[in-house]
Amino acid sequence: MAKSSKRERQYEHVKQSEKQRGGRSARRAEEIAARTVNKQKAQSGETRGASASAGRSGGQRARSGGAERTKEQLYDEAKRRDVKGRSSMSKAELKDALGR
């Protein structure tokens, strides 16, 4: 696990979030939390030999602003915009509600 208390808190927070939000198993939630913390450490230069490309990893879908967004990404934006009825909307309905 992470050495700094900040990273330990981040690890526990991500792990709990993944268990609750994603309904993931404890093992999968731990894996996601560890990867998240490791990526953050690499991006901030906390690791020895941190890869220069660490900040660019994650693929195109993660930052895509267009039609290729996942339903989860659309839902998160709808939540930020306080779109009513978002929990029962399909991906297409979320796109329409967000004007995309």
**pLDDT tens string 25-74:** 888 888 988 999 888 888 888 777 655 454 555 555 555 555 578 999 99
pLDDT of residue 1: 45
Residue at 73 is within a domain = yes
The verdict on residue 72 lying in a domain is yes
Q: For residue 59, tell me if it sits in a domain.
A: no
Amino acid 7: pLDDT? 87
The token duo for 44 is: 């901030």
Q: Would 51 be classed as within a structural domain?
A: no
Answer yes or no: is 21 within a domain: yes
Check whether residue 41 and residue 69 sit in a common domain: no
* Domain-located, residue 22: yes
Are residues 39 and 68 part of one domain? no
**pLDDT value of position 18:** 86
- For residues 73 and 69, what is the distance between their CA atoms, to the nearest angstrom? 6
- Residue 58, C-beta contacts closer than 8 angstroms, at least 6 positions apart: 39
Query: Domain span at residue 76?
Result: 64-98
- Rounded to two decimals, the pTM is 0.43
In a domain, 94, yes or no: yes
Q: Give the model's confidence band at 3: pLDDT under 50 very low, under 70 low, under 90 confident, else very high.
A: low
Number of domains in the chain: 2
- Residue 57 inside a domain? The answer is no
